[in-house]
Structure 1
């Protein structure tokens, strides 16, 4: 597995969580097959039951399947020196990632809510209260330290920048337009060799 000669990423035809792995692999200079399932019915009928736990993204390395986005990003981060130089630095990265996961869970409750009346009811708390609560904290951390953890680039920066378009779509606002330090981090991550090339050539999707 260490050579990673053949890499295939299976995900939907969106950025979403799959973009985190696309960014990490691109940063590492790894060539990979970006396999996108075009429709939800095709996913349900032809692919879902074949997945280890019925979920995506799936990363296949030299024919062996691996799953769970954050575990994979953390593992790739270790491979390329972006997982911290010691246990304390790794902890700081994980704390930021887990905090972002709390934010993600909060937004998902709102975005994927099929009860429109309930969605309207919880919208003020999710969009007008919880969203700025988290984003202001992330923005201030970047303002003070230039990065999200340990004052230097880590896989947390790449992970979070990779899903900014996805989250902007879900919270119905351009996160990078309102929060200048998050925008600055996005621009610096997008300028990294490998990631810059990926962003320029990736398929254009709304989220």
Structure 2
């Protein structure tokens, strides 16, 4: 794919983690630049295509948008759909995963303590159980995967984002779901991803 990659994101998993996983899946060496918000705003934000992170540089070409980057790398790696129907199955899962992540992030980074308290119960007791029970059922019926009964980038994206969601809600989001835990184990057993996970730094909260 390339001889030089540089990923710029914050000092946490977030939307950078699926890209890190995809690069690791393909055994592509990359510079993993993790910035605090102050440094991002002062040195990088103005150079990003739309002023947002993550930013992936591939041989000098600057890319943005986590899902678009992962989708591109999946096609290069042969873990996208074999046709438009399979791509649709994957994209439906990805967008649904993003719905849950957005809700969790909205809770985590809410600065008004009263509003945050109001968001907690619906998130923990309604939103997360509703979606994750469905994910659990899908994986059970799809040979251990989220789409097309085979390994796709939806699986890798899900595991990477679910790990970030553990940080967002301060608990192991997969603990009640044995099929989802097994999927995580499957992804973490992939050699490139296994090596990355063993070496990655811990999250540091970014003040958005």
TM-score (norm 2): 0.93
From 188, 192, 200, the counterpart of 1:194: 192
Query: More displaced, 170-179 or 185-194?
Result: 170-179
Cα deviation, 1:94-153, whole Å, max 9, x if unaligned, reads: 011111111122222222211111111122112211111111111111112110000100
Which residue of structure 2 aligns with residue 12 of structure 1? Answer: 10
Cα RMSD for the two superposed structures: 1.4
Which position in structure 2 is the counterpart of 1:44?
41
Partner residue of 1:53?
50
Deviation at 1:206, TM superposition (A): 6.2
Distance 2:91 2:46 in 1: 31
Alignment map for 1:116-135 (pairs within 5 Å): 116-135=113-132
Counterpart among 93, 96, 107 of residue 96 in structure 1: 93
Contact 1:158 1:189 in 2 (8 A): yes
- Find the counterpart in structure 1 of residue 203 from structure 2: 205
Aligned residue-pair number: 204
| 1:68-147 to 2 correspondences below 5 Å | 68-145=65-142, 146-147=144-145
Structure 1 contact 169–206 (Cα < 8 Å) conserved: no
Measure, in 1, the Cα distance between the counterparts of 2:167 and 2:132: 15
For 2:167, the equivalent position in structure 1 comes to 169
Q: Residues 11 and 204 of structure 2 are in contact (CA less than 8 Å); yes or no, is this contact kept in structure 1?
A: no
SS in 2 for 1:176: coil
Unaligned runs of 5+ in 1: none
The farther-off stretch of 44-53 and 59-68 is 44-53
Comparing 129-138 with 46-55, greater Cα deviation is found at 46-55
TM-score after normalising by structure 1 = 0.94
Query: Residues 6-51 of structure 1: CA distance to partner in whole angstroms, max 9, x if unpaired?
Result: 11111112122111111101111111111111x2211122222221
Q: Secondary structure at the match of 1:45?
A: helix
